[in-house]
Structure 1
Amino acid sequence: MIEVNPALRPDETLNTFYKGKILVLQRKNGFRFSVDAPLLASFIQTKKEDEILEIGTGCGIIPMLLSLKPSHHIVALEVQQGLADLARRNIMLNHLDGRITVIEKDFRQYNPWHQFDIIFSNPPYLPKDSGYPSQTEEKNIAKHEILCSVEDMLNWSKNWLKVDGSAYFILPESRRAGFELELLKSGLSLKRSRLVFPRENEPPNFFLAECGQAPGGCQVMAPLILCGQDGNDTDEAEAMFSGVDGK
């Protein structure tokens, strides 16, 4: 039995999200979630009977946001001990330990006893030897493909996703072509996609993807624009960041 204490520690901050519906402990100098977490949570479509698995939960933010949508149970995998502990504390803090289970394990070594309706991940954005190294190992592993790659995630998801299930990912738009190539190699196919733009007349910065086992057409959603000309969040972005768009 793992002992979990959700009390705030000196090196942490306590933030609220979804207008106070979710409380989030984060390290001051560790990996901290960004706008991509609510973007992916909003994009994922769930049903009340769904068995869901996340690859790389970090502080547990996306499963907690998904808890406002219908689902049966969420398994959140995290390879880093410190982040797995933080995720457990966040889940206890939000009284979600009956719906979300955190497992400290490399997903490539995880052999569940059943397949999942939904698998999702907000994977490391940068190839292993690209960009500037972060000041902490925790950030490096979260941001760079040091322990795993998108190829690894797609191949694993292919094996553990139900025939009619969906796998969801968010990536920088700059990695879209490479993602689609690895998707084709894995045997999965693109079911739904959406580009995210910081503002009108600016290049997209994120690519949202829903993938499945069965080949077929891809639904290309209308672009999501986060910020209006007035500098404020668009109505859709505001609904997304406040959690009122969840079904």
Structure 2
Amino acid sequence: MTLEKNEVINQLLNKNLKIIQRPDFFNFSLDSLLISNFVSLTRGTKKIVDLGTGNGAIPLFLSQRTESKITGFEIQEISANLAKKNINLNNLSEQIDVIHDDMKNWKDYFENGSQDVVITNPPFFKFHGNENQLNDLDQLTLARHEISIDLDSLIEVSSKLLKDKGYFAMVHRPDRFLEIVDTMRKYGIAPKKVQFCHSKIDKPAKILLIEGIRNGKDALNILPPLIAHDENGQYSKEILELFNDYNKS
């Protein structure tokens, strides 16, 4: 496989997984690993869609948990091409596909209610027209700010993709928790579990993981907080155990 300028290959936790990344594009973070571990996968899970897959980190992680068919949507051509390379690099082309398109065009690829799971690590930040908010690189702007899609549209698309009783899982910012819950319920996704993740035990939550069920009953389970680092700044026991689980895969 020939690498383009700025592309580098890194280990992806598991000794059997590698990932091609570019420093000038959005790279995978702990968020991708956490949401991949958080989402519920059952014996009935056959089809999974990752909205905004980037370079394909979430599908790669999910491939260690399930043999289900996984499709990633990615609007940026370079990121989509990186994801395709990563699938081939890890010999996962029979399990994972990548669609280079706007997720709003999902009807061109899927039937309504056809997916068992929709998962996403979306742009976190609202855009109010202030260009000072934006990153210098357009590709990072799209990955971090709600330019190409906002929270409402993202959850609407997710709801339409999901089958009855299908699972929706997302990583996002705690300061948008109430908005997320309201929007999920607006589109018929009942929030079922949430976990707040903290960089350290004495710090405010930095991200949240949330899962809901399409046409599910109201019953929200708030899980114990997840602490990423100990007092010395090293990864916590919970995170190291998660790494170990993937290294055993």
1:122 matched to which residue of 2?
121
- Residue 54, structure 1, aligned to residue 56, structure 2: no
CA distance in 2, matches of 1:77, 1:242: 29
- Superposed CA offset, 1:140-196 (max 9, x none): 111110010111111112122111210000001122122122222222110111010
Give the SS at the match of 1:156: helix
2:172 matched to which residue of 1?
171
CA distance in 2, matches of 1:155, 1:245: 35
CA distance in 2, matches of 1:132, 1:239: 36
CA distance in 2, matches of 1:19, 1:242: 9
Give the SS at the match of 1:52: strand
Structure 2: gaps spanning 5 or more residues:
none
Cα displacement (A) at 1:138? 0.9
1:240 matched to which residue of 2?
242
Instruction: Give the one of 51, 75, 78 matched to 2:74.
Output: 78
1:105-120, aligned counterparts within 5 Å? 105-111=101-107, 112-113=110-111, 115-120=114-119
Cα displacement (A) at 1:202? 0.8
Cα displacement (A) at 1:126? 0.6
Cα displacement (A) at 1:30? 1.7
Cα displacement (A) at 1:241? 3.3
Structure 1: gaps spanning 5 or more residues:
1-5
Instruction: Give the one of 22, 29, 45 matched to 2:24.
Output: 29
1:219 matched to which residue of 2?
221
- Answer yes or no: is the 8 Å Cα contact 2:115–2:166 preserved in 1: yes
Cα displacement (A) at 1:239? 2.1
CA distance in 1, matches of 2:54, 2:122: 10
Give the SS at the match of 2:135: coil
- Superposed CA offset, 1:107-133 (max 9, x none): 111110361110010000111236631
- Superposed CA offset, 1:2-21 (max 9, x none): xxxx4322311211122423
CA distance in 2, matches of 1:246, 1:159: 36
1:95-174, aligned counterparts within 5 Å? 95-111=91-107, 112-113=110-111, 115-129=114-128, 132-174=133-175
Cα displacement (A) at 1:136? 1.4
Residue identity matched to 1:76: G
Instruction: Give the one of 44, 48, 62 matched to 1:66.
Output: 62
Superposition TM-score, scaled by structure 1 size: 0.92
1:3 matched to which residue of 2?
none
Identity %: 25
Indicate the RMSD between aligned Cα atoms, in angstroms.
Answer: 1.8
Cα displacement (A) at 1:234? 1.4
Aligned residues: 242
CA distance in 2, matches of 1:185, 1:9: 43
CA distance in 2, matches of 1:160, 1:245: 32
